[in-house]
Amino acid sequence: MTDSQTSSDAPSRLPVPRIAPSVAPSTNSHLEIDAVTKNFGPQEVLRGVTLSVAKGGTTAIVGPSGSGKTTLLRLIAGFEHPGAGSISLSGATVAGDGFWVPAHKRHVGYVAQDGALFPHLTVGQNVSFGLSASRLSGGRREVAARVSELLEMVSLDPSMAKRRPHQLSGGQQQRVALARALAREPELMLLDEPFSALDAGLRVATRRAVAKVLNEAGVTTILVTHDQAEALSFADQVAVMRGGRLAQIGNPFVVYTRPADRATAEFLGDAVILDAWMEGSLATCSLGGIPVRRPPAQGRVQVMLRPEQIRIAEDGPIRGVVVDTDYFGPETTVRLKLAVPPELAAGAAPDHRFPGGGEVITIRHWNASIARPGMELCLRVVGEAVAFPMDGNGQA
Amino acid sequence: MATDLAAPETSGSTTTAGRGKRPRPPFGVSAVSIIAVLIALLSLVPLGYVVVMTAATGWETAVRLIFRERVGELLLNTLLLMVLSVPLCVVLGVGGAWLVERTTLRGHKWWAVLLAAPLAIPAFVNSYAWVSAIPSLGGLWSGVLIATLSYFPLVYIPAAATLGRLDPAIEQSAASLGLGAWRTFFRVVLPQLRIAMTGGALLVALHLLAEYGAFAMIRFDTFTTAIMVQYQSTFNGAAGNMLASVLVFFCLILLVAEVRSRGTARYARIGSGAQARALRLPLHAYQVPAQLFIAGLTALAFGLPLTFVLRWIFAGGPGIWATDEFLPALLQTLGYGLAGALATTVVAFPMAYLAVRHPSWFSKALELSNYVTSSMPGIVVGLAFVTVSIRVAPEFYQTTVLLIAAYVLLFLPRALVNIRAGLAQAPKELDEAAQALGKPPLVSFIRVTLRLTAPAAAGGAALVFLAIVNELTATLLLSPNGTRTLATEFWSKSSEIDYAGAAPYALLMILISAPMTYLLFQQSKKVAGQ
């Protein structure tokens, strides 16, 4: 947990974050990944990934496609061998250091992108696939009872057990896949983009249902996704992956509001990035002076704000001219060209200290009628900004 | 909570899991590779034989044997046969497919099957029927007639499958861009048929090069018939070997042409969503001529051979069903067919597995070596196996094992294509899902991958079986002394002009082939989209 601080001191206007206790440093860690690498031929897919997942916690590994997140999941499942480093489950090394536990002995549940239901078996046979000959010696009747129980657990009618996978909708298939994975009562569940094949409405509903089931069962869960909104809403720990490395690990609120670098900031959501001058803990930019919690440097920096932190005010010194607007129904995005604030323009700060002025930024507002191209609006900033040093990732 | 589910190795102390087992590659890939390499090496025996024989003959002798009048004659015959028959097959195949799939032809469902039916009649049986009908038949034009009627379904089947699958939206777009029906056909439909047409045409050409019986029956000399004559007179002469090299050379040219014509073109439907049904052009006044055309073609290619086979059977009376000859030949054929189909499927599986699950230059090279071999005419494979077995492993000469091995090499791609398609239905993810559910790799392989591939593999095996039942050339060369198959028995009877005696064998071959042809036809409809 590189960033495990709570955010009780977060700006009050922002939503109160869900901080799961499991994010605390791992005294009861379930999964430990230590400096794992993986190459496919000459291509380095994972370049040393270290991650710890607490028992019962929900971790989302999020990153753009090709960042190595699915490979990491497959390593945990035991479908691939790590190049170097080690993976351990509940304290037992399952890969690396000369150890290798094959997938079928890891007791890890796995739900693939499209569900990977066996097309030649019925729903019931799919769900009971992992059960046979292991525990349920009570015969067919007990298997059938268990299948019904599992289907109900994922909000499916037990009568569906007789159907074939192709007779189900995408969302139902995913639920069956989850029920099948839950049948063996795994302590760790791996979900590989299980919702991405579903259409938008179904995706949210299925995600909620799955999260509920897994939470109630107390299963440690790792979700791989390229959808940052899904990651933020599903998990209590988000690991941002980029170029085979973990760029940031933390609870959703922290990684969203205080991203470690500019690329992470932009990946996790819309970001307003402005050149600024840092003095003490105050950054001066086209939006005026904005507090920064832990300035990484003094002097020239870049600051990052989320669009929802920028509000339209009745009056004030910070102004922008509307360039254009996009109407989305519940909200309207407004592109504004920022003016140079008068106190700065008047020479309150020397030019070299203030690099900004004239940037075009995007903000959001619920009221579409408030802005028309050419109108001048007054703006104010809520909360703190995050500053990135110019030499690092902050370089434009 | 899952400890009672755990296998003994992982229960107990949690830190002893895996106990120092070294990581090893996923299930059996190395073993599969080794098997595949061995098969590929075996499959290169025919080509290697031709190369070695040509080299051993010496440059001067080779030149003398290749550049002589007789070879020129054969070359002219073979080329004329191809130049005349292949375009005819394409025209009849595409025309038939278009009428059946894209016009309001009455009874198009029945015609669709009947146009594929000639494939159930081996070319040499077709030849036999035509010679029965017109005893004076002989020479180039007879060869063209029989070749065209026997092989046009090889173009018709892929063309019909493709036409039935073409996205009508593309044609509608062409119409909306101002193209009339004819221009749409030539500028939009025909180009999309290119793969089906060239693929079918090259297959026809390969069959023309390889066919022995049909042309021998009408005394039309091609390379293959000449090689057989040489073989029968001198057994293993340099002259025959040189003819074989020239033949192989032509086959390889066709193979390269096939690969090149495929290129990287992709005519699969782009985009998702339900596809509308193909458009059918109203025939109106052309309904009758179209019906006459299809009926005439079917009558010549299917009706006539069947009629003359039946006529001989009635003419021959019960005497021709001499059970002491007939039953052994039937059983022997079924035995070879089943053994060959099984062996081919078993051999094809590791190849297909490597190609689908572990694609690499290596698996591509393996597959290529198989396709090269499959383009070799049966006579070359037969010659190669005879020669190599006599020199290297005489104990295998004229044994069933050698014959089955030749069948495997000749018909491997039929099984390979099917198993590949089957494996595509059983993606790796399903195997992994089974393993994540606690099934060891071998169990998940059997219960998921093998189970899901089985139907396609069975289809492939059926096609191999069909091919073996009708195989004549390699069987003539390689079958153990005293064994008879339907094809060889038919051949020896009809060579002795005992046409009535040959008829039961012909009928049986047709009866066995008919359901398989139907299967092939059905299958082509399914894979056309890929």
Q: Could you give the residue ranges of the DSSP H alpha helices within B267-399?
A: 287-298, 304-316, 323-357, 361-374, 378-392
For residue B201 the two structure tokens come to 């045409």
Q: How far is B437 from chain A (nearest CA, A)?
A: 5
- Taking only the tens place, the pLDDT of each residue in A154-202 is 888 999 999 998 888 888 898 899 899 988 888 899 999 888 877 888 7
Q: Look at residues B70, B152, B79 and name the one whose alpha carbon lies nearest to residue B117.
A: B152
Given a cut of 60, is residue B264 above it in pLDDT?
no
- Taking only the tens place, the pLDDT of each residue in B215-248 is 998 989 988 888 888 888 876 667 778 888 888 8
**Most confident of the following: A7-16, B26-35, B109-118, B421-430:** B109-118
Q: Is A384 helix (H, G, I), strand (E, B) or coil?
A: coil
* Residue A340, CA distances (Å) to A214, A377, B95, B392 in order: 51, 13, 75, 92
Q: Phi and psi for B528 in degrees, rounded to 5?
A: -60, -30
Query: What pLDDT score does A346 carry?
Result: 52
Share of chain B above pLDDT 90, in %: 22
- Taking only the tens place, the pLDDT of each residue in A43-72 is 899 999 999 999 988 999 999 988 999 999
- The pLDDT of A129-140, averaged and rounded, is 67
* Residue A238, CA distances (Å) to A57, A230, B246 in order: 11, 10, 68
Query: What pLDDT score does A351 carry?
Result: 54
Instruction: Identify the residue with better confidence: B354 or B338.
Output: B338
Share of chain A above pLDDT 70, in %: 86
Q: Name the residue among A95, A107, A116 with its Cβ closest to that of B433.
A: A116
A209: left (phi over 0), alpha (psi -120 to 50) or beta: alpha
Q: How far is B428 from chain A (nearest CA, A)?
A: 9
What's at B70, amino acid-wise? R
Residues 150-189 on A with a CB inside 8 Å of B are 177, 180-181, 183-187
Contacts of B1 (CB under 8 A, 6+ apart): A185, A187
Given a cut of 60, is residue A22 above it in pLDDT?
no
**Chain B residues close to A102, C-beta within 8 Å:** 435, 440-441
- Taking only the tens place, the pLDDT of each residue in A203-257 is 888 888 888 888 888 899 999 999 998 999 889 999 999 999 999 999 999 999 9
| B370 in Cβ contact with B43 (< 8 Å) | yes
Helix, strand, coil percentages for chain B (3-state, nearest 5): 80, 0, 20
Mean pLDDT of chain A: 83
Determine whether the interchain pair A180/B425 forms a contact, defined as Cβ–Cβ distance below 8 Å: no
- The pLDDT of B184-211, averaged and rounded, is 85
Which pLDDT band holds residue B66 (cuts at 50, 70, 90)?
confident
Q: Which residue of B has its CA nearest to A79?
A: B432
**What is the rounded distance in angstroms from the CA atom of residue A256 to the CA atom of residue A308?**
12
Query: What pLDDT score does B235 carry?
Result: 66
Given a cut of 90, is residue B87 above it in pLDDT?
yes
Q: How far is B442 from chain A (nearest CA, A)?
A: 11
Q: Name the residue among A98, A116, A187 with its Cβ closest to that of B2.
A: A187
Query: What pLDDT score does A390 carry?
Result: 79
| A265 in Cβ contact with A247 (< 8 Å) | no
Determine whether the interchain pair B438/A120 forms a contact, defined as Cβ–Cβ distance below 8 Å: no
Determine whether the interchain pair A102/B440 forms a contact, defined as Cβ–Cβ distance below 8 Å: yes
Model pTM score: 0.74
Q: Name the residue among A103, A181, A185 with its Cβ closest to that of B2.
A: A185
Which pLDDT band holds residue B273 (cuts at 50, 70, 90)?
very low
**Chain A residues close to B430, C-beta within 8 Å:** 116, 118
Query: Which residues are registered as beta bridge partners of A62?
Result: A225, A240
Interface confidence (ipTM) of the complex: 0.74
Determine whether the interchain pair A184/B2 forms a contact, defined as Cβ–Cβ distance below 8 Å: yes
- The pLDDT of A21-29, averaged and rounded, is 51
Query: What pLDDT score does A216 carry?
Result: 87
| Angle, CA A41 vertex, CA A40 and CA A45 arms, to 5° | 35
**What is the rounded distance in angstroms from the CA atom of residue B188 to the CA atom of residue B179?**
10
For residue B397 the two structure tokens come to 């000469």
Query: What pLDDT score does B276 carry?
Result: 52
Cβ of residue B266 closer than 8 Å to a chain A Cβ:
no
Mean pLDDT of chain B: 82
**Most confident of the following: A227-231, B275-279, B356-360:** A227-231
Instruction: Identify the residue with better confidence: B188 or A225.
Output: A225
Instruction: Identify the residue with better confidence: A394 or B498.
Output: B498
Q: How far is A280 from chain B (nearest CA, A)?
A: 51
Query: What pLDDT score does B269 carry?
Result: 42
Which pLDDT band holds residue A268 (cuts at 50, 70, 90)?
very high
Query: What pLDDT score does A224 carry?
Result: 94
Given a cut of 80, is residue B445 above it in pLDDT?
yes
Instruction: Identify the residue with better confidence: A236 or B34.
Output: A236
Contacts of B274 (CB under 8 A, 6+ apart): none
| B410 in Cβ contact with B378 (< 8 Å) | yes
- The pLDDT of B272-283, averaged and rounded, is 63
Q: How many CB atoms lie within 10 A of CB A193?
A: 20
- The pLDDT of B18-42, averaged and rounded, is 61
The kind and range of the H/E element at B61 are helix B59-66
Site of tokens 């699950």: B357
Q: How far is A134 from chain B (nearest CA, A)?
A: 6
Q: How many CB pairs under 8 A join A and B?
A: 117
| B341 in Cβ contact with B465 (< 8 Å) | yes
**What is the rounded distance in angstroms from the CA atom of residue B157 to the CA atom of residue B166?**
14
Q: Name the residue among B1, B9, B19 with its Cβ closest to that of A185.
A: B1
DSSP symbols for A102-167:
-GGGS-EEEE-TT----TTS-HHHHHTTTTTTTT-TTHHHHHHHHHHHHHHHTT--GGGGGS-GGG
Residues 9-48 on B with a CB inside 8 Å of A are 9-10, 14-24
Which pLDDT band holds residue A115 (cuts at 50, 70, 90)?
confident
